[in-house]
Structure 1
């Protein structure tokens, strides 16, 4: 027992000594924040670290912005630099100065940019006769903040200071995906590295008051990979440099160009070697069963491995697999892949996702994981499907704080690639959900989506033509799109088209069709169909008069709420008149 106490005292003294040395280091940094490098940091090679940090200037709207960046890859006469997006956004050719020769200014061009994001990232490429002595900074992908870790920030604070100033920082925690730190960093430090024990743990993207925010390295790596900036071993002047410690998408999981990704044997071997694209492709192959016997256990395993290795499509796949589990349609990755591969069940799931506000969550942990993967797919991989689904979840407040504006932003990004998202943005502009109402923009987006045969665009586009919202009123065009909606079983299309037949808009009055469509719509819960059916039963026009049925459907319609829209009130009067045997002509209705 005595030796143990001696050992414990020895360890206690050791811990106390290390704490004291760290305290001296921090105090020295604080005292010398803007006038040079503290002695305790020189031991960590601070001068070499500075050679990996660059000064960036951008000119936007006649103003000059100054920020920081750092080198993540060097090739012969080429440097790849990471920075904050707001440092360079608006200037297609920002300027870069390297520390080994700060008398030269190099033009840079954008390799990647997360635009319209205050805390986003950007990648620059500089080509030319670069100064000798440049360094790539070591990155720490495995850093997990607990609070209290001491670090440094290198950069160009917008205060009187020497260039490449070193300031102290203390990690305080994590807010969402961002690392949070406190210290002397100010605006000009944006884009620079925050380092703990000599390695970069994040990119500073915002400084607010006494706190700063940094994007952690795992997210930085994936962003760079998505922009085609590989990390790992590099060649300078024909000599191979050693890759920094930590796992890289390029060195541990990046796709290998020589692989035939349609060949099962090659894909399997590549996946087992760590090729992330092959991992995802192997999951696809096991899932569809075309090149190899269907195996949902193997498919689920390789989808997850591909996502863990950072392959963009795998992030989205795991997000959807987890969402299937969250809504109770499966209880494991395997059964979720099985469900997703069943064509007969896909429409059920898609309907649930589209009507996100009605989702009933059965598994909160799976929902949390789904949001995590979808966010990675949306933010890091810029995958349109991930952005679309994340936008729907965000707008409805499912798994995240409800934010229709942010939800609309995600869906707007997805709309550039995904026609279904374009249709949703059309509906959002029509209804003012998350955006300001704009009927012209709504019609434009809905027409584009409908032209690409997106069913959810048919009915709102038909209604816009019937109402003359953002387009010239055209009942023929309205009928065309509403009939398409009816063909896809949309209750709203049935109810509205039934109303057109009852009113005689766009053609002769057809009470048989009006009754059939209104009845189907009403039984499926559509308010317009319920109202039309109630009026027809009340009047006995086209159907046997039935006061009880009329009251039932009128009350069902009323329970869904009374619209204050003037067009809705006008339609109500016209439907009532037509139900009493006084159909409005198309021209008369068009004047209303």
Structure 2
């Protein structure tokens, strides 16, 4: 049966609304794993950056960011997506201060009373092999836009542990996730004039694993671990389900 043109148009519009609704829900779930970080070193001005949750316990949330975001402040403030405008104090567990560009930092927010419902970890991508042109999104806190700002972009290239992308983003995105299909490909470290720069998820994974964050094997029981599965080791957690 041939449907009237207006019926086909209506079907197409309904499908588009459903796609947009699903996309909005997916973005909201990703934003729930991203935090705003405000650091106030003894000397200098305050610094605003981004981090994302890599591990959750009933009374603690572990957050990775770029080292320069929290440099000089052992107790930065963290704001969660599901409890905005109510920052809590975090503790810097480790800092790669010897690498001003690629250095990473691990924070922890302790206390069940400081952790709102709805928090989640962000899963790592299963591979970091890029050919260039892959679609990505970045979530952060640029000074000229609203909080948990979403920027769409593309991978430009990879060189060793460095990941280049466009467009470049504001410094408020520093420490935030570089995401593809909801998975972490890397972490934003610096902004450039023509392209942005990050470190690949493998580097982030190795850094947090050094602090004893549990690694989960996603392979079949008894099967050898696939090299492309290594970065899927941080399982998705939601605070309400732990």
TM-score interval, smaller chain? 0.7 to 0.9
How far apart, in 1, do the equivalents of 2:62 and 2:199 lie? 18
How far apart, in 2, do the equivalents of 1:249 and 1:149 lie? 19
**Equivalent of 1:201 in 165, 178, 185:** 185
How far apart, in 1, do the equivalents of 2:46 and 2:190 lie? 18
1:176 matched to 2:176? The reply is no
Q: How does 1:129-528 map to 2 (within 5 A)?
A: 129=113, 130-159=115-144, 161-232=145-216, 246-247=229-230
- 1:171/1:131 Cα in 2 relative to 1: closer, same or farther (>3 Å)? same
Asked if the contact 2:126/2:232 (under 8 Å) is kept, the reply is no
1:123 matched to 2:74? The reply is no
How far apart, in 2, do the equivalents of 1:142 and 1:94 lie? 32
Shift of 1:232: 3.9
SS of 1:220's partner is: helix
How far apart, in 2, do the equivalents of 1:193 and 1:149 lie? 15
How far apart, in 1, do the equivalents of 2:83 and 2:123 lie? 21
Asked if the contact 1:221/1:249 (under 8 Å) is kept, the reply is no
Asked if the contact 2:164/2:198 (under 8 Å) is kept, the reply is yes
Name the structure 1 match of 2:82: 100
**Equivalent of 1:69 in 32, 51, 59:** 51
Name the structure 1 match of 2:27: 46
How far apart, in 2, do the equivalents of 1:249 and 1:170 lie? 22
The structure whose RCO (Cα within 8 Å, separation 6+) is larger is 2
Report runs of 4+ in structure 1 exceeding 4 Å deviation: 248-251
Name the structure 1 match of 2:15: none
SS of 2:143's partner is: coil
Asked if the contact 2:125/2:232 (under 8 Å) is kept, the reply is no
Shift of 1:166: 0.1
Shift of 1:196: 1.0
SS of 2:202's partner is: helix
Deviations along 1:365-404, one digit per CA (max 9) or x if unpaired, are xxxxxxxxxxxxxxxxxxxxxxxxxxxxxxxxxxxxxxxx
How far apart, in 2, do the equivalents of 1:56 and 1:190 lie? 10
Q: Which has the larger radius of gyration?
A: 1
Shift of 1:56: 0.1
- 1:41/1:147 Cα in 2 relative to 1: closer, same or farther (>3 Å)? farther
How far apart, in 1, do the equivalents of 2:125 and 2:25 lie? 15
Deviations along 1:324-357, one digit per CA (max 9) or x if unpaired, are xxxxxxxxxxxxxxxxxxxxxxxxxxxxxxxxxx
- Cα RMSD between the aligned structures? 2.3
Name the structure 1 match of 2:40: 59
SS of 1:45's partner is: helix
How far apart, in 1, do the equivalents of 2:146 and 2:165 lie? 22
Asked if the contact 1:225/1:249 (under 8 Å) is kept, the reply is no
Shift of 1:44: 6.8
- Unpaired segments ≥5 residues, structure 1: 1-37, 234-244, 252-592
How far apart, in 1, do the equivalents of 2:79 and 2:229 lie? 28
How far apart, in 2, do the equivalents of 1:44 and 1:105 lie? 24
Asked if the contact 1:56/1:69 (under 8 Å) is kept, the reply is yes
How far apart, in 2, do the equivalents of 1:144 and 1:155 lie? 24
Asked if the contact 1:190/1:206 (under 8 Å) is kept, the reply is yes
Name the structure 2 match of 1:78: 60
Query: Is the strand fraction higher in 1 or 2?
Result: 2
Query: Is the helix fraction higher in 1 or 2?
Result: 1
Shift of 1:247: 2.8
Q: How many residues align?
A: 202
Deviations along 1:200-228, one digit per CA (max 9) or x if unpaired, are 10011111113111111111111111122
